[in-house]
Structure formats: C-alpha cells, structure tokens
Amino acid sequence: MACRYSLSRLLVLAAIIPCWVGDFTLLAQRGDREGHEMTPPPAHWKIPAAPVVTADKALATFDLAEGFSAELVAAEPMVHDPVALAFDGNGRIWVAEMRGYMPDIDGHGEDLPTGRISVLEDTDDDGVADRHTVFLDGIVLPRAVALSGADKSLLYADNMTLYEVAIIETENEGPKAGNSVVVDAEYAKGGNPEHKPNGLRLALDNWIYSAKCDMRYRKIDGEWVKEKTEFRGQWGIDQDDQGRLFTNTNSNAVTAEEISPGLTERNPNHDFRTPVSTKLKDQSLWPSRINPGVNRGYMENTLNDEGYLRTPTAASGLAIYRGDQFPAEFYGNLFVNEPSANLVKRALIAETDGRFQISQAYDGHEFFTSTDERSRIVSCYTAPDGTLYLVDFYRGILQHVAYMTTFLRRQVEERGLDKPAGLGRIWRVVHEAKKRGPQPHLTNADGETLVAQLSHPNGWWRDTAQRLIVERQDDSVVSALRQLAGDQKADPRARIHAIWSLEGLGAYAAEDLAASFSASPEIAAQALRAAKSLADTTQRGAVIMACQGAISAENSSPVLRRQLLASLGVFASASGASGDTDARDIAFALLRETLGTPAEKDETTLAEDLAISGLAGHESDFLADVLTHQPDLSIGAPLVAVVTKAGDAGTIATMQSQILRTDEPHRGRLVRELAYAAAKLRRAPLAAELLAAASTDSSLQKPVVEGLLAGRKSVGNKFKRLALKDTPALLADKGGYPDEKKRVELAAIFDFSGIADEVFLKTKADLALFELGKKNYALVCGACHQPNGKGLASLAPPLVDSEWVNGPPKRLIALVMEGVMGPITVDGKLYTVPEIPPIMPGMRANPEVDDEKIASML
C-alpha cells in the first residue's frame, strides 16, 4: 500500500489514537487487550502445584502409549534450555541452548549473549550422554543447528544471522569452533523469539529449508546460494520419504505439503487456485494435567469445563517418524508437540494419489503426556538408533513477554513457574519389542559404505549418507549411484536417494531419467524433478524425449502427471543449447497432451496451476501454441490472466491479436477472459481496445461486455474506475450497446474526466518514508502476513485488498497500535481459529517499534 499520509500526521495519529474505541489506559501486560475480562480459574478446578521434578524422577510423571517408554539421554547441568538438536555422522548430538529466553517473568536480559551450542557424546554406547563440550558460547538466543561440509562445519542461527562455522576436531578436548562465515545476515532479522526462522532442515532435494521463512539455502561450488521459496510454518520442519515438507503454527498441529517445495512460488504472476496442503481436521487434545497456565486461558473455548486445553496454542517441533525401532505401522506417522499442554501427539497420514488424509492416532488419549507442568517438549527427531528423541525445554514460563497476559502472569506467580531457569532434558522414546539401533560411524566412512547406507531402513541413515556423499563431492561413487538408481529390485527409497545424490554431485543425466520411467510413479516423479538441473544444458532435448515416453507409459499416475506438468513448462522455457531448437515445440505438445487428459475439476485446475508455474515468463508463447493447436483447452483462460497481469503492453497486444484470430466458439470465450482480466487488473488501454474492436464487430460485443462487467464485479467495493480519454462508441447514448441496463453498468466502470489516479508519493521525503516502510514491514509484519502481503494459511490473513487496510486511516492505525482479536472477515472470507491465531498483538506493546517505524509502515 502506498503511503497516503505525511510523516507528521501519522506520528500524531499514532500517538493520540487510543484503541478500537474509547480512551486508552496503559495495560498491565503486553498481551492484555482492552475489554478482555480475565477472570481467574473457577474454584472447582483443582490446580496442583508445579514444583521442579528432577530428571531421575521425571519418568514417573510420563504416560506413554502402550509398549513405549522414555529414557533419559541428557539433563541439567549438562544441558540448559535446549530447543533444537542435530546429529552428525557419528551420532554426536549438537544442541542449541537458548539460555537467554525469558530469564525472568519480564524477559530482562534476553538480549544478552548467554546462549551456546554444545556437543553431547555417548562414549560407552549405553544410551546416555557422558561427555559434554561447549562448542560455541556467547550467542544471543541460538535457535537452529545443522551439520554441513561433510561434518567439517556447522550451520547455526542466532537471534539475527545464519552462520557456517568450521569444526576443528581435537584429540582430548572435543570439537572446537574455527573460522565462521555469514551465510545470511538477515536470516532471523526482526520479530521476537516466537516468530523467527528456525529448523534448518536439509531436504531430499539438497536444499536447506526453514520454518517461519521464505528462503532456502544450498552450497554450490563452494558458495552459499539463497533462493526464494514458499513461506511456511512457525517452529519446526521435517520431510517425508518423498521430500514433501511438514510444518505447523502455534494453533495448527500440522500443514502437510502435497507437492514439492518451490512450485507455488515460481511464477510471480500466478497464484495457485487449488489447495496443495492438508491439515489435521480434528485437533482435539487430551492432556493428563489441567492447563490453566496458558496465555488465553480466560477466553471461551480455550480450556474445557475442567480446565484442560482443547486445541493447540503452542504446537511446535514436529517430526515425521522414519526410524526402524518402532513397529512398522509407526513409520511415516506424524509426531507433534504441544508444550503448553505437556504432551506429544501422534497422527496417522494416509495417502491416495498424492493427497493426504491426516487423522488422530488415538481417541481420548495421547502418545505422550506429562503431569509435570514444566515439561515442555518443543522439538522431536528421528534418531540414528531408530528411536524418537524429544527435546524438553524444561521450564515454567513458555510464553514470551511480548504476548503475556495478566491472566498468565498470575498463574506463573501463584505456582512459582518463573524460577528456576536454566534447566533442560533430552529424552529418547523406545518401543519394548526391539533394541535400539547401533551408533553410526559415517563421518569418515568410505564412499562405498555411504552408498550402501542409502538402502538403510532408518531414514536418518539414508539422509545422512546422501548429505555426506553430496558434501564431499566424490565422483568415485557416481557409477555405484547410477547402478542403484536403476536397480529394479532395490528399495524404492534407496533409488530416490541415489537419484538425488547424483543430482547433488552434478552427475545426473538424461539416461537416468529415461531409466526411471519403468519404475514406480513415485520414483519417476523424483527423477523428473531432479532433471530440472538439466534444463539449461545440452541434455535438454533428451530429457524432453524421455518425458514423451513417460506420458504414454502404463504406469502413469496422478503423482507422475503432476510432476510432468510442473517440469514440462520448465523444460520448454529453458534456454537449452544449440541443436535442440525443436525441443520447446515438443515440450509444448507434451504439455498440451498431458493437460488434455480427462480429470476431475479440482485436478484439472491443479494441473493448470502446475503447468503455469513452470512457464514463468513464457506463458504467452504457450498460449499461442494452444490457440494454434488445441484452443479448447481450459488453460487458455488462466494464461490470459497471467499475461495480462504481467503487464507488458507489447505481449498483451500480441495476445489480443492472436485471440481475435481464433475460430469460434473459442474466440468468444477467450475474449471474455481477456475483458475480465482487463477490468479486474485495471488495464485501461486493453479495455479501450476491446471496446473499440467490439464497436466494429458485433460478435465481440457480448463477450467483451460480459467480461468487463464480471471483472468489475470480482473486485467488489475495492474497484477503482478505469480512466479513459474518450467515450467508446459502444458506450454512446445512441447507437451503443443495445442492452441499456448493461450499457449503463458498463459506463460506470470508466472515468472520462481525464483526471489520472492520485499520486501519493509526491516528494523525496515521501519516497524515503515509503522505502523505510518497506524495510520495517518486512521485519515487523512480513513474517506472518508475508512480504507480498498475501498472508499465510494458519497464521495471518492477507493485507492485499483488505478492507481493514484500505478503509478509514484511524481504524487502520488503531489496529496496528492495539492489535485485534477473534474472528475477522477479510475480502469476504472469514478467518478464525485454528486457521489463524486468536490474537494479533499491537505495536504499542512492542518496545522495538517506535512511532516513526509505525508511520513508515502505514
């Protein structure tokens, strides 16, 4: 949104506007909201005390699913405030200790460099860490760790920056930190600890993804590369065997992505029209302890009548279990933590044709609960020994001071939950039927051993072997990898890892893709996805020819079809190399053939979305191909919209000419879509040209008029009239469009006054304020509402086209200053829990945001 007000006026308004209505009174806690009646818990709730339970006695507070038990791996004083961990190739545990988080109830000292990264080792293989090394000290709120550089370096994130630091191994003193480099200076910039990137999950495609982040990272030729991806999640991230990502937000247990990461962000001029992720529909919780100590416990429906938390308010740190110590039916299950309810939930993930159905594993109880209010499991991981590791942030205060309410403060003080700080545990969950697996020794294993471990039943071993193969860049294993990738008898998971290992080594070839199409659709889809690395090489033509065989293959499935659609556009749009000038036309033909396959409506729309995502920048070329060879394809309409949105006048003119030359009945349909886009996207010159064409060709009148009216209607009350210099003949009082009612409606779309749209950025000071506002918005608001203002499912509604943003300035300022709670309707859609959190905090309570910053964002 452009800056519409002067800096001085905004500063005055920000200072004097109190809240939604009425006079402003400074509230006791930052999370308090005007009008909230924070009544204490009812007398019949029997709230037990919450004393510190020592680690050796904590097992008695746990209740696990039948057949499971917990074992202590490490506890204070060995670890303090652990929030995340990573295993290196030898099974050592690298722990991020966020020791500065909420040192007291007011968060004093949180900005001090008290955090550290420690290394835990089990030297006698009894399952208990017996050696502790401080690897890095003096860090402000470390939040994520990941091994890199073939275990010769560590990635870690503090409160602001993502670093890579060298690991120096010593004989007697454990690993020491060497030189460090900045990977991303703005990795975790802005926001508070609850809303900063984290996770650092190396995925199947050799890219590192984070939660609460829209960037991914990869080291290529010795340099770190940062690339845009979808914004996802809040705390914690994991993947399944197909490399699909799983995240959550505080009020949503899981968002399971059903397509490969990156696809929905490839084309900036096209938004996917179909959902490509799934959530757990029933998010009911069954704690074993009453939960009055949650921030909004006073609000209706947060707690049930007995004081137990109904649904998540702090979901975090999920894991897809891919280990081999639990019974087989647990493989691929979701485990997600709810630390405010002191539990870990298990959910089942069923898959049909690439679509997920997620359901509760138990009715009336959980996989893991604790009666200790201080037990805060915030992260969990599939471990090298095949078990599930739980990171216990063991503490009384979980809620950050930025959102704490007076209600919660009373609970903290009444039960002494603010003291002591600096505790923490790491637990292992094991099943009684099988011994835990052996300790790994992969860091220095030879290439042959690593290739063999790609077939290991435990996903951690497969992931780690692939990581080490790729990070070593050892070409000696290429032949063995190629053999494994094409081995029809091998475990499909091993073949997929071999494919991506080849891709990571830069050795993946068109012959590997061709061989994969005789395999399962899942393997073929991964091979096709990996082939993106060949799009701009001399192998482009061979890749496209291999795709031709896949389309006619009997094993085609929705999973493979979707990946074909996502890939063919990329192959068609790539520059390729000399000698394959016909490759684009072949790719276009294959794309048309695949799109022409009959499918359900939702699947057809998704197919079009995937194809358009890969065609970024070349949509007009494919549209011309469609109009020439197969104009009945429904993809013509969204292609028209994308080209129009891109806004290149020459390309739009060419598209218009092509559409007008198309035979009926397709011409009328596409003209209507073109007119619709012209009105909706406010392309006045295009609208004028269409009206002029319709004035001389009566067959165009109906589609032009109907399209313009429909486009205007789609925008609703946010529509701004299109400025035209002259009145088109079709809108004239006499001799114009014969339907008088529609002619009047159509005329109302346009402004013939000759006055251009108001320009708000008139001075250098305005422009400077606007640029400052963009930076501040990205830091303060972008994490939830996204940098593009389109919002994020399960976290924040869109700001683009929002009546709350475009409405009265006083109301907007009040919203920004004081926040908002409860359900809210934006652009005709109702947003409520669990789709978004119940509260958006105001900026008045944020000490890092002053009036000038707020003014710049407005």
Q: How confident is the model at residue 758 (pLDDT cuts 50, 70, 90)?
A: low
The mean per-residue pLDDT over the stretch 357-379 comes to 98
**Which letter, b or e, does each residue of 430-465 get, where b requires 16 or more Cβ atoms within 10 Å of its Cβ?**
bbeeeebbeebebbebebeebbbbbbbbbbbbbbbb
What is the pLDDT averaged over residues 334-338? 98
Rg of the chain's alpha carbons, rounded to an integer? 29
pLDDT(19) > 50: no
Q: How many helices (H) and strands (E) does the chain have?
A: 25, 32
Q: Is the pLDDT of residue 22 over 90?
A: no
Q: What pLDDT is attached to residue 761?
A: 60
| Long-range contacts of the stretch 673-676 (C-beta < 8 A, 24+) | 673/636, 673/637, 673/640, 673/641, 673/707, 674/640, 674/644, 674/707, 675/703, 675/704, 675/705, 675/706, 675/707, 675/708, 675/711, 676/641, 676/707, 676/708, 676/710, 676/711, 676/714
pLDDT band at 45 (very low <50, low <70, confident <90, very high): very high
pLDDT above 90 for 289:
yes
- Phi, psi for residue 788 in degrees, rounded to 5: -90, 0
Q: Which residues contact 61 (CB under 8 A, 6 or more apart)?
A: 53, 370, 371, 372, 375
Name which of 133-147, 240-254, 340-354, 792-806 the model is least confident about. 792-806
Confidence of residue 808 (pLDDT cuts 50, 70, 90): confident
The pLDDT of residue 532 is 94
The average confidence (pLDDT) of the chain is: 89
What residues pair up with 825 in beta bridges, in sequence order? 830
CB 131 within 8 A of CB 74: no
Confidence category of residue 211, pLDDT binned at 50, 70, 90: very high
Q: Going by C-beta distance under 8 Å and a sequence separation of 6 or more, which residues neighbour residue 395?
A: 81, 102, 374, 376, 417, 421, 423, 424
Q: Tell me the average pLDDT across 603-618.
A: 94
Across residues 640-662, what is the average pLDDT?
94
Interatomic CA distance for residues 746 and 738, integer angstroms: 12
Confidence (pLDDT) at 551? 75
- pLDDT tens sequence across 158-174: 999 999 999 999 988 99
Q: What is the mean pLDDT of residues 635-664?
A: 94
Whether the predicted pLDDT of 850 surpasses 80: no
Q: Is the pLDDT of residue 362 over 70?
A: yes
3-class DSSP state of 405 = coil
Tell me, what's the pLDDT at 189?
86
DSSP secondary structure letters along 631-655 = TT-TTHHHHHHHHHHH--HHHHHHH
Give the pLDDT band of residue 576 (cuts 50, 70, 90).
low
**Residue 843 carries which side chain, given as an amino acid letter?**
M
User: Looking at residues 284-302, what average pLDDT do you find?
Assistant: 94
As a whole number, mean pLDDT of residues 245-259 equals: 96
The tens digit of pLDDT for each residue in 390-427 reads 999 999 999 999 889 999 999 999 999 999 999 999 99
**pLDDT surpasses 80 at 98:** yes
Write the pLDDT tens digit of every residue in 421-446.
Answer: 999 999 999 999 999 999 999 999 99
Looking at residue 161, what DSSP letter applies?
-
For the ranges 388-397, 434-443, 683-692, 721-730, the lowest mean pLDDT is seen at 721-730
Question: What is the pLDDT, as a whole number, of residue 573?
Answer: 85
Token reading at 710 = 């429909």
pLDDT in tens, 697-717: 999 999 999 999 999 999 887
pLDDT digits (tens, 9 = 90+) for 448-464: 999 999 999 999 999 99
Q: Cα separation of 544 and 588, whole Å?
A: 10
Burial class (CB in 10 A: 0-12, 13-18, 19+), 698: exposed
Q: How would you classify the pairing of strands 750-751 and 722-723?
A: parallel
| Weakest mean pLDDT among 119-133, 303-317, 819-833 | 819-833
For residue 756, pLDDT over 70 is answered with: no
Average pLDDT over residues 743-759: 76
- Inter-CA distances, 296 with 39, 373, 561, 776, 845, Å: 11, 16, 46, 28, 17
- Percent of the chain scoring above 90 in pLDDT: 71
Angle between the N-to-C axes of helices 558-573 and 619-629, in degrees from 0 to 180, rounded to the nearest 10: 110
555 pLDDT higher than 60:
no
| 849 vs 577, residue with greater confidence | 849
Peptide bond into 77 cis (omega under 30): yes
Stretch 773-780: mean pLDDT: 75
The more confident residue out of 247 and 538 is 247
| Under 8 Å between Cβ of 528 and 560 | yes
Find the mean pLDDT for residues 74-85.
Answer: 98
Tens of pLDDT, residues 498-524: 999 999 999 999 999 988 888 889 999
